[in-house]
């Protein structure tokens, strides 16, 4: 595969910063997807799929002979967070920002597309630009697309930049890599009354007070424990601001988190049991949002990434415990691919993901491009595992 020149890296940097200026939220990535598809066309992709699972884009780069399919995945969406700071390429869209680094992830994959102008000898590479990662909806929507069987890979790789780790360090972990999580929305409905006669109504207040203690208590252990679970209260609302009304409606939002998908099933059942226990005569409606499956990294795929990084002389680190945050990549492993998510350091003192002053470090662009090109060369230059 072709090595990128300094002018190629400069072009990727400019492109990344242009994407940074124009973030789009999950499920709304129409302009970003069109820009990516146009770039892939210029770079000579053999085939481009558009509107996958929403606004997803995939591009095929095919070798001369049959062989495995290697999918490299990145994300299209930004966040509903107002960016602060004085960057010359700061977000031009108020209340929206690329504050998780998906602009840099996209630019990295376009760097791989540049390198793929010299095709692998066999097999094919699919570059997937996935929509709606931040909500946990995009990966499954892509897999549910009727065109997915044309794309389905043997191997799947992705990465996320990780502030707090040395810049460019490649984090590797076989087995559990990122937690499963989901949002639990609990709506409680009773009967309003005059504040002077609360006994004539049915307020959700007492049930909410009990649940605000009971649900967080479902947490168990630390991230180092296989049975780790976490239940975090994120929102509470009781009626409307008033002194004259004993309210009829209440809402709680809780984020459930676990090491494994099986543990998530048990955690959900425990949370529902607590709601049933404390609801009394209230009407209860529960809805689930932002559902992320656990990321479980395949051992063989992780070994391939490790070997590629070492051959490039890149610094590697074996991660002793999984990440507590979630990532919408686990579904590709669930779908049968040998999949691995990699964790690339963004700098020890770099602003944290989702901070309003976060910005993707451009120095990672050549590091990640080289790494993923090395992974492709490793797999498509030998017999499949």
* Distance separating alpha carbons of residues 344 and 327, to the nearest angstrom: 14
Span 269-296, pLDDT tens digits: 999 999 999 999 999 999 999 999 999 9
The domain spans of the chain are: 6-178+294-379, 183-292
Q: What counts of helices (H) and strands (E) characterise the chain?
A: 9, 16
Per-residue pLDDT, averaged over 215-234, amounts to: 96
* Residue 296 bridge partners (DSSP): 176
Residue 97 DSSP code = B
256 to 121, 295, 355: CA distances (angstroms): 45, 15, 22
Closest by alpha carbon to 57, among 71, 82, 43, 76? 76
The torsion defined by the Cα of 113, 346, 292 and 153, in degrees rounded to 10, comes to 30
pLDDT value at position 382?
57
pLDDT value at position 3?
83
* Distance separating alpha carbons of residues 133 and 65, to the nearest angstrom: 33
CATH topology of domain 6-178+294-379: Aminopeptidase (3.40.630)
* Distance separating alpha carbons of residues 23 and 25, to the nearest angstrom: 7
Per-residue pLDDT, averaged over 341-346, amounts to: 98
pLDDT reading at 383 higher than 70: no
Considering the chain, what is the average pLDDT of its residues? 97
pLDDT reading at 1 higher than 90: no
Closest by alpha carbon to 375, among 296, 297, 310? 310
Span 74-128, pLDDT tens digits: 999 999 999 999 999 999 999 999 999 999 999 999 999 999 999 998 999 999 9
For residue 290, the SS3 value is strand
Residue pointed to by tokens 């129409």: 30
* Distance separating alpha carbons of residues 82 and 73, to the nearest angstrom: 26
High-pLDDT (> 90) share of the chain, %: 97
Span 36-72, pLDDT tens digits: 999 999 999 999 999 999 999 999 999 999 999 999 9
Architecture of domain 183-292: 2-Layer Sandwich (3.30)
* Residue 250 bridge partners (DSSP): 188, 238
pLDDT reading at 381 higher than 90: no
CB atoms near residue 213 (< 10 Å) = 11
pLDDT reading at 385 higher than 70: no
* Distance separating alpha carbons of residues 177 and 180, to the nearest angstrom: 10
User: On the CB side of 26, how many CA atoms lie within 13 Å of its CA?
Assistant: 15
Kind and range of the H or E element at 376? helix 364-379
Span 156-175, pLDDT tens digits: 999 999 999 999 999 999 99
Closest by alpha carbon to 220, among 288, 271, 272? 271
Span 128-157, pLDDT tens digits: 999 999 999 999 999 999 999 999 999 999
Closest by alpha carbon to 329, among 126, 153, 130? 130
pLDDT value at position 2?
72
**What are the φ and ψ backbone dihedral angles of 93, each rounded to 5 degrees?**
-115, 105
pTM of the full predicted structure?
Answer: 0.95
* Distance separating alpha carbons of residues 181 and 134, to the nearest angstrom: 12
CB atoms near residue 282 (< 10 Å) = 21
For 197-217, the DSSP string reads -GGGSB-SHHHHHHHHHHTGG
CB atoms near residue 240 (< 10 Å) = 9
The torsion defined by the Cα of 221, 222, 226 and 229, in degrees rounded to 10, comes to 60
């Amino acid at each position: 595969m072709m090595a990128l020149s300094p002018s190629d890296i400069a072009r990727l940097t400019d492109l990344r910063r242009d994407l940074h200026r124009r973030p789009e939220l999950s499920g709304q990535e129409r302009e970003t997807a069109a820009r990516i598809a146009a770039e892939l066309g210029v770079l000579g992709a053999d085939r481009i799929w558009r509107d996958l699972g929403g606004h997803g884009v995939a591009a095929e780069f095919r070798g001369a002979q049959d062989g495995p399919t290697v999918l490299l995945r990145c994300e299209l969406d930004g966040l509903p967070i107002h960016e602060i700071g004085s960057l010359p390429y700061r977000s031009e869209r108020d209340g929206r920002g690329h504050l998780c680094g998906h602009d840099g992830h996209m630019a990295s994959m376009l760097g791989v597309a540049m390198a793929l102008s010299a095709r692998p000898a066999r097999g094919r590479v699919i570059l997937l630009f996935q929509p709606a990662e931040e909500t946990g909806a995009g990966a499954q929507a892509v897999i549910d697309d009727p065109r997915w069987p044309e794309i389905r890979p043997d191997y799947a790789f992705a990465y996320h930049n990780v502030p707090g780790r040395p810049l460019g360090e490649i984090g590797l972990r076989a087995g559990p890599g990122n937690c499963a999580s989901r949002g639990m929305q609990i709506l409680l409905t009773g009967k309003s009354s005059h504040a002077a006669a609360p006994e004539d109504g049915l307020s959700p207040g007492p049930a909410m007070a009990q649940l605000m203690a009971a649900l967080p208590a479902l947490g168990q252990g630390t991230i180092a424990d296989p049975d780790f679970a976490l239940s975090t209260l994120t929102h509470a609302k009781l009626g409307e601001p008033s002194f004259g009304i004993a309210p009829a409606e209440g809402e709680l939002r809780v984020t459930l988190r676990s090491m494994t998908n099986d543990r998530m099933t048990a955690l959900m059942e425990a949370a529902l049991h607590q709601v049933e226990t404390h609801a009394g005569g209230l009407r209860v409606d529960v809805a689930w949002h932002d559902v992320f499956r656990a990321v479980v990294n395949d051992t063989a795929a992780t070994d391939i990434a490790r070997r590629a990084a070492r051959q490039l002389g890149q610094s590697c680190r074996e991660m002793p415990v999984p990440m507590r945050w979630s990532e919408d990549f686990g579904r590709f492993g669930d779908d049968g691919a040998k999949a691995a998510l990699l964790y690339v350091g963004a700098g020890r003192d770099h602003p944290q993901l989702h901070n309003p002053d976060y910005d993707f470090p451009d120095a990672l662009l050549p590091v990640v491009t080289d790494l993923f090109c090395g992974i492709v060369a490793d797999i498509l230059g030998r017999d499949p595992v």
